[in-house]
């Protein structure tokens, strides 16, 4: 979308929402500010998330708004463009706070932009709801008025896989990871949990970017006596690992590849993908029993109605942002105020009391999200996928131990 078109659309929809609210009732709307990237690296993901927020705004306004002090107030979303530029973000958030006089804020997309926004919101004493920033560093700086409503922290991203493998009965686990921040952080968190659960870590080895051959690494993992193999890298490396496991006839009871259920991986890996465990957040088979807001099917239906011309289908960014809206609504209701300190206090009191489309909600004082964990999938021969963990959303029992390669059809 061109910037001018984006701004015009944004202004028009904001005016329309504002005018509608003014006509409908005397109570002023709750103004929520956020930035969205109309261009640049984060444009696709940011706009995907925006549509999730807009689904929530549409839904909450259709129900008459959020009740504060016995009076219902509609929600007005004020969106400005950040052009995926972290140097622009602080200024735009200042504009939202000082000129647009928003009551609270949603974060921009991703850790990079959120880290740039949070100083502005914190300095102004405004409450910010984060929906897509996983970097632990954001939550380690002592900010008082932020919460990650739905996005689990980066160091916890890899833990559901370990929990699932542990629940299956694996006692020994071998880790390997690409020496880059995301795989390293994910593996560190996963290995920490494995230790806490009493599992024996038989190997924890990193490999450099550009590694093309994983045969020896795979053989080392086997020689270490591991029940489960947990190598983390990006899709290309994981395709190679899956193929080389099969070619070398190296059998583990469980193999966990973080991207193993992504459509691209499944399409390219073919039979190499069979029985592999992986994680994802939005899939037709992941259906949380939501306590607040729309469930997955309803959200998808609403997406189709509100955005019939959207270039892409709803994805996990949409779900994260929609879920963040639902959490925000409950926080405002519980706080009965728009003051940052009261909102944060209410947000903490809601721990374990909300289940949204992306799962359960639990934060700590820093605002870091501990739940909303990804669900664990297992690829079945023929291309089927089943949810195998957590039990609340599981659709099948995992095949464990996975059949040896020479016994597979």
**Rg, C-alpha atoms of the chain:** 22
Closer CB to other proteins, 244 or 328, in the complex: 244
List Cβ neighbours of 57 (8 Å cut-off, separation of 6 or more). 17, 32, 75, 77, 325
Q: Which is nearer to other proteins, 213 or 301 (CB)?
A: 213
Cis peptide before 401 (omega within 30 of 0): yes
Q: How far is the CB of 385 from other proteins (least distance, A)?
A: 18
Minimal distance, residue 320 CB to other proteins, in Å: 23
Of 304-333, binders to other proteins (CB under 8 A) are none
- What dihedral angle (degrees, nearest 10) is formed by the CA atoms of 264, 269, 271, 275? -70
CB of 64 to other proteins, least distance (A): 45
Q: Which of residues 378-407 bind other proteins (CB under 8 A)?
A: 405
Q: Beta-carbon neighbour count of residue 197 at 10 Å? A: 16
Q: Give me the least distance between CB of 186 and other proteins, in Å please.
A: 17
Residue 215 interacting with other proteins (CB under 8 A): yes
Binding status of residue 264 toward other proteins by CB under 8 A: yes
Q: Find the angle CA(178)-CA(180)-CA(181) to the nearest 5 degrees.
A: 130
**What angle (nearest 5°) sits at the alpha carbon of residue 184, between those of residues 106 and 383?**
80
* Contact stretch for other proteins (CB under 8 A) within 53-61, 67-75, 110-118, 270-278: 270-278
The whole-angstrom separation of Cα 89 and Cα 111 is: 12
45 is a contact residue toward other proteins (CB under 8 A): no
Q: Which range touches other proteins (CB under 8 A), out of 87-95, 128-136, 146-154, 215-223?
A: 215-223
Residue in 11, 125, 196, 213 binding other proteins, rule: CB under 8 A = 213
Residues 371, 247 contacting (CB under 8 angstroms) = no
Single out the segment in contact with other proteins by CB under 8 A; choices: 51-59, 80-88, 113-121, 241-249: 241-249
Minimum separation from the CB atom of position 211 to other proteins (A): 6
Contact call for residue 278 and other proteins (CB under 8 A):
no
Contact 351, 361 (CB under 8 A): yes
Q: Which of 247, 284, 301, 364 binds other proteins (CB under 8 A)?
A: 247
Beta carbon nearer to other proteins, 192 or 205: 205
With a CB cutoff of 8 Å and minimum separation 6, the contacts of 96 are: 33, 34, 35, 78, 80, 102, 105
Dist CA 55 CA 305 (whole Å): 10
Binding of other proteins by 205 (CB under 8 A): yes
The residue within the footprint of other proteins, chosen from 207, 307, 315, 370 (CB under 8 A), is 207
Q: Is 179 in the site for other proteins (CB under 8 A)?
A: yes
Question: Smallest distance, Å, CB 30 to other proteins?
Answer: 41
Main-chain dihedrals φ then ψ at residue 57, nearest 5 degrees = -60, -45
- Using rule CB under 8 A, residue 243 touches other proteins: yes
Structural contact between residues 37 and 43, judged by C-beta atoms closer than 8 angstroms: yes
Which one of the spans 85-93, 186-194, 211-219, 366-374 is the region binding other proteins (CB under 8 A)?
A: 211-219
When asked if residue 217 is in the footprint of other proteins (CB under 8 A), the reply is yes
Q: How far apart are CA 326 and CA 338, in angstroms?
A: 16
Number of residues that bind other proteins (CB under 8 A): 36
Consecutive H or E run containing 59: helix 43-62
Is the CB of residue 230 less than 8 Å from the CB of residue 217?
Answer: no
Rule CB under 8 A: choose which of 17, 38, 202, 240 binds other proteins.
240
* Of the candidate residues 268, 287, 351, 395, the single one contacting other proteins (CB under 8 A): 268
Max CA distance (Å), the chain: 72
- Tokens for 227, please give them: 């029940």
- Residues found near other proteins in the complex (CB under 8 A): 176, 179, 205-208, 210-213, 215-217, 219-220, 223, 234-237, 239-240, 243-244, 246-250, 264, 268-272, 405
């Amino acid at each position: 979308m061109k910037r001018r078109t984006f701004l015009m659309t944004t202004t028009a929809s904001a005016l329309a929402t504002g005018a509608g609210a003014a006509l409908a009732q005397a109570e002023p709307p709750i103004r929520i500010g956020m930035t969205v990237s109309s261009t640049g690296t984060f444009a696709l993901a940011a706009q995907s998330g925006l549509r999730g927020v807009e689904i929530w705004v549409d839904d909450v306004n259709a129900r008459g708004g959020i009740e504060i002090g016995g009076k219902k107030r509609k929600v007005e979303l004020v969106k400005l463009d950040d052009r995926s530029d972290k140097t622009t973000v602080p200024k735009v958030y200042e504009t939202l706070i000082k000129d647009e006089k928003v009551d609270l804020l949603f974060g921009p997309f991703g850790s990079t932009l959120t880290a740039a926004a949070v100083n502005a919101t914190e300095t102004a004493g405004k409450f910010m709801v984060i929906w897509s920033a996983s970097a632990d560093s954001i939550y380690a700086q002592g900010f008082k008025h932020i919460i990650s409503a739905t996005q689990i922290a980066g160091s916890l991203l890899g833990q559901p896989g370990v929990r699932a493998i542990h629940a299956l009965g694996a006692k020994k686990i071998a880790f390997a990871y690409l020496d880059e921040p995301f795989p390293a952080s994910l593996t560190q968190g996963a290995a920490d949990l494995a230790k806490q659960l009493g599992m024996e870590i038989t190997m924890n080895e990193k490999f450099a970017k550009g590694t093309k051959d994983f045969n020896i690494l795979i053989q080392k993992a086997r020689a270490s006596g591991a029940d489960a193999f947990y190598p983390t890298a990006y899709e290309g490396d994981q395709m190679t690992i899956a193929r080389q496991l099969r070619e070398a006839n190296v059998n583990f009871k469980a193999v966990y590849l973080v991207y193993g259920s992504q459509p691209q991986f499944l399409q390219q890996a073919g039979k190499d993908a069979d029985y592999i465990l992986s994680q994802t957040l939005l899939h037709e088979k992941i259906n949380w029993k939501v306590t607040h807001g729309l469930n997955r099917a309803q959200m998808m239906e609403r997406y189709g109605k509100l955005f019939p011309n959207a270039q892409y289908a709803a994805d996990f960014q949409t779900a994260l942002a929609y879920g963040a809206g639902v959490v925000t609504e409950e926080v405002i209701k519980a706080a009965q105020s728009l003051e940052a300190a009261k909102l944060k206090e209410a947000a903490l009191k809601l721990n374990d009391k909300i289940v949204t489309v992306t799962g359960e909600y639990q934060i700590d004082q820093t605002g870091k999200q501990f739940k909303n964990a990804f669900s664990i999938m297992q690829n079945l021969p023929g291309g089927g996928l089943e949810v195998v963990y957590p039990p609340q959303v599981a659709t099948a029992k995992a095949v464990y131990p996975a059949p040896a390669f020479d016994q597979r059809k």
